[in-house]
Amino acid sequence: MGRFQVRLLNFVYRMIGDRERAEDLVQEAFLRVYRHLDRFDRTRKFSTWVYTIASNLAKNELRNRSRSPLIAFDQGRATEDEEPRPVEYEDAASRPDYLYEQRHLRALVDQTVARLSSHHREVFVLRELEGKSYEEIAEIMHCNLGTVKSRLNRARQSFAELISPHLD
């Protein structure tokens, strides 16, 4: 669990866009791994098997969501009674403006990835954000290598088209 939890959480979160639900799905993936450990084919990579389970759970979540959409409302909290404190800078990477830019860029990437079609999003996240090989992706997605390469090419093109208006 310790070896895959963070990477799986990031993968599932990027697939479905809901952090809390992604945590639940990763936990469910680990439960399924534990319950069905006897079904694991030891001639294959364990990580591919775990990602396949998580990927299937994420796809099911998206499928279920499209059948019964949920609208969420967010309420901000006032922080008027907090006292201002002086800010001390340690290095450029911890400066508020730099951190803001990094958060903004991460949010922009996440929003753009979320706009990709589901099969393009999955292959894009697995390759570009998770660093999986083409072969691993083909196994996780249950398709051939040519399909992975084709979808990844289209996903990259779509991503570039969607994000380019937002970049300087």
Give how far Cα 23 sits from Cα of 41, 122, 131, Å: 26, 18, 21
- Tell me, what's the pLDDT at 90? 46
If pLDDT is split at 50, 70 and 90, which confidence band does 68 have?
low
For the chain, what is the domain count? 2
| Residue 85 covered by a domain | no
| Residue 81 covered by a domain | no
Residue 41, CA atoms < 13 Å, CB-side half-sphere: 6
If pLDDT is split at 50, 70 and 90, which confidence band does 96 have?
low
Q: Kindly report the CATH number assigned to the domain that includes residue 129.
A: 1.10.10.10
| Residue 55 covered by a domain | yes
- Tell me, what's the pLDDT at 75? 46
pLDDT score of 94 more than 70: no
| Rounded mean pLDDT, 62-75 | 62
Q: Which domain holds residue 100?
A: 92-166
If pLDDT is split at 50, 70 and 90, which confidence band does 126 have?
very high
| Rounded mean pLDDT, 61-90 | 56
User: Which pLDDT tens digit goes with each residue over 51-62?
Assistant: 999 999 998 888
If pLDDT is split at 50, 70 and 90, which confidence band does 148 have?
very high
- Tell me, what's the pLDDT at 28? 94
- Tell me, what's the pLDDT at 135? 94
| Residue 84 covered by a domain | no
| Residue 73 covered by a domain | no
- Tell me, what's the pLDDT at 80? 58
For residues 63 and 97, state if they share a domain: no
Whole-angstrom distance, CA of residue 82 vs CA of residue 69: 38
Cα angle, residue 17 at apex, residues 76 and 11 outer, rounded to 5°: 135
> pTM score, two decimals?
0.56
Better-scored residue on pLDDT, 154 or 168: 154
pLDDT score of 143 more than 80: yes
| Residue 49 covered by a domain | yes
* Residue type at 91 in one-letter notation: D
